[in-house]
Amino acid sequence: MAPSIATHVAEMASVNLFAQDGNGHWRSGTFVGRPYFVSYERMHVLVADAWKQQAKGLPQGSFLLAYYENEPEIEEALLLRVLAPAALPTDDDVISSMVEYYKDNLRTAGGGSQLDDFTRYEFGFSGLECRILGTFYRSADGRVEFGADVENFYSAHNYSVVKPNPAALEVVVNFRDGALSGGPADIEIGRVRYSSSMRFQSTENVVPVYIDPKDFLGKRTALFGMTRTGKSNTIKKVIEATVSMSSKAPMDLAAALETTPSDNNDPYTEQGFPRFPVGQIVFDINGEYANANLQDEGTAIFEMYQDLVTRYSVLKKPGFRVMKINFYHDVIAGFEMIQSGLALETADYANSFLAIDLTPPVDDSDFSAKTRYQRKVAAYQCCLHQAQFPAPQGHKVSFSGCKEINDLTGIDPKNGVTLDQAVAWFTRVWNEYNSNQFFADYARNKGREWADEDLKALMVFLTRQSKPGGAANISGYRKLRDMINMHTDTLDEPFQGEIIKSLRQGRIVIVDLSQGDPAIQRIYSERICRGIFQDAMARFIDNRANNFVQFYFEEAHNLFPKREDQDLSQIYNRLAKEGAKLNLGLIYATQEVSSISANILKNTQNWFIAHLNNEDETREIKKYYDFGDFVVSLVRFSASTDKGFVRMKTYSNPFVVPVKIHRFTANASEV
């Protein structure tokens, strides 16, 4: 059984990065070379073939430590990352000599080499370019600290460079915010891996890498990589870590209502656990979290956490709640979904319809406002009826007409009429709106028209006549028919309210969008996200407790605004920019870095980068943190054999770490 995190932390704490043996050699690793150039950002190191062999290779991206050893009392080491070969002043002479030997067809290696000892010695040296990532040092109070820069550097000849041994490397990669990781809530997410080739690394001790789930709660996290490179596996590991952390929360939101607001200002307990259970919602574009499949091998999230998971689908399926609302009963919610579905409409009459206000009047004693509102709602429901949205059994509408119109139509809607009768009533009104003297007299006597602009827009949509008495030659209500499958004629609580309740209780909600077309996926996703955001904002304004809610988006490029989209009011942009203060976290995965809105990328704190297959994507990655050091290897390595091999930058880690993510398994103790 693997040692506990607490054991690892104790072992790491006992590692002295600055210890030397009796011969003055650093105990933290194997000597690999000496610098011949050093600056605030770069160091060039002279290395020999024998030293590299002794250290079991120096892969690109590997960590090194450069110690200042001229004065033993200075306990300081520069953290380096191997980038590429560097030129030596003697390279031209060495190359000339090599060419001459090649021309003479002389052996340069192996038994019976005809090179003399001095030449073979000269040929064995090379230069190595390294980036300086920061400085490990001993503080005045005796603690080891890390600074993500160089406060001072000395002459190059005063440094000795070593490749950290496994114990020292574990300290290096798990150093977070001035201390070692390994708190009660931390999990082991993977192990250090430098390269695709594993000839040397397979013979060395595994170096575990830990993450603090607090790095993800309320933060933005990106997972980028080609299909089948382990993005979904990483998301499952994050969900697993969050569930583990959430299970130790000491208080639910109901209990929080009994405390004063000041008691709930800190979202974490003294032990580092969230104060309230964490809600998690997965927008499952491919259905791989909500449904079992052959690739899961028993690790589908809904199977692993059956007691915590509630699944929703756009279709009726066993074990799923259906994501539909009653457009007649929940008027505003239904109309917002229509607005989302017809957002790309360009026709003037359609835009006028989408701009109507169906909000109930604030002052219920305002008879005039109440009358206009009732007519608008009735006309809107007539549009639904004409578009063949099934109405609840026995459904009627009631609104105040007037004697002249009632006599004209033969229908009095005051005490309730069927939708067919209401359609006939509004149709007759619109047909005679410009010809009947009543409407002209009303406008002259009242100083305003009988029908306001909203009601006119509704009657145009209902009758398909762009002007009163005209031909029915526009699409009108027919544009709504594509959204019928989002409607239910039952009177259950709207699914959005159920989802918010579940998340506030710390449950996992999986929204299965795999069987909806892209427009439906976008509408449901936006609607749910906007509802959760508004609920969190209301709690924030009212100074009520907000538990953490984590959003997970697979295939995010299908939902998120495109790079060229400048509308920052979209809900995903608002989650990225404002979610932190509302305890809303955002975790998104995609193959297309370059397609994601820059506004979202710029607010992302955690990054997991797997295999990318073109320079368009790596060019975008280079803009963030120190991922520019890995662009070549990200394109080069194999997506088929290196699943889960990522470059990871978390919120509390000051530099990128190359990690092989553990596989998410049915047995949480397995890695």
* Chain segment 523-576, per-residue pLDDT in tens: 888 889 999 999 999 999 988 888 999 999 988 888 888 777 767 678 999 999
Mapped onto helix, strand or coil, the DSSP state of residue 592 is coil
Could you tell me if 586 and 551 are in contact, meaning their C-beta atoms sit under 8 angstroms apart?
A: yes
The angle at the Cα of 600, spanning 598 to 603, to the nearest 5 degrees, equals: 105
Tracing tokens 């690999």 back to the chain, one arrives at: 32
pLDDT tens readout for residues 357-377: 999 998 878 888 999 999 999
Q: How many CB atoms lie within 10 A of CB 80?
A: 25
Judged against a pLDDT cut of 50, whether residue 218 lies above it is answered with: yes
β-pairing, 645-649 vs 657-661, is antiparallel
* Cα diameter, the chain: 117
Could you tell me where the beta strands, DSSP code E, fall in 314-405?
321-322
Note the pLDDT of residue 78: 95
d(CA 316, CA 302): 17
Give the model confidence (pLDDT) of 336-356 as tens digits. 889 888 988 889 999 999 999
Give the pLDDT confidence of 138-192 residue by residue, as tens digits: 888 888 889 989 988 888 988 999 999 999 999 999 888 666 666 667 788 999 9
3-state helix, strand, coil split of the chain in percent (to 5) is 35, 20, 45
Rounded Cα distance, 137 and 146, in Å: 6
Strands across the sheet with 279-284, in order?
208-211, 187-192, 657-661, 645-649, 606-609, 220-224, 584-590, 549-553, 279-284, 508-512, 309-313, 321-322
How far is it, in rounded angstroms, from Cα 182 to Cα 189? 12
d(CA 396, CA 591) in angstroms, rounded, equals 50
Per-residue pLDDT band for 304 (boundaries 50, 70, 90) equals confident
pLDDT at 264 over 60: no
Q: 601 Cβ partners below 8 Å, 6+ apart?
A: 222, 593, 620, 624
Whether the Cβ atoms of residue 305 and residue 243 lie closer than 8 Å to each other: yes
Averaged pLDDT of the chain: 86
Crossing angle for the helix pair 518-541 and 495-504, nearest 10 degrees? 50
The whole-number pLDDT of residue 182 equals 63
pLDDT bracket for residue 255 (50, 70, 90):
low
Does 183 or 587 have the greater pLDDT score? Answer: 587
Contacts of 408 (CB under 8 A, 6+ apart): 428, 432, 436, 438
Cβ atoms 113, 107 nearer than 8 A = yes
- Are 105 and 151 in contact by the 8 Å Cβ rule? The answer is no
Q: Tell me how far apart the alpha carbons of residues 561 and 568 are, in angstroms, rounded to a whole number.
A: 9
Conformation bin of residue 337: beta by default, left when phi > 0, alpha when psi is -120 to 50: alpha
Q: Measuring CA to CA, which residue among 367, 342, 368, 364 is closest to residue 355?
A: 342
pTM for this predicted structure? 0.81
Under the banding of pLDDT at 50, 70 and 90, the label for residue 671 is very low
**Contact between 32 and 163 (Cβ < 8 Å):** yes
Q: State how far the Cα of 410 lies from the Cα of 604, in Å rounded to an integer.
A: 63
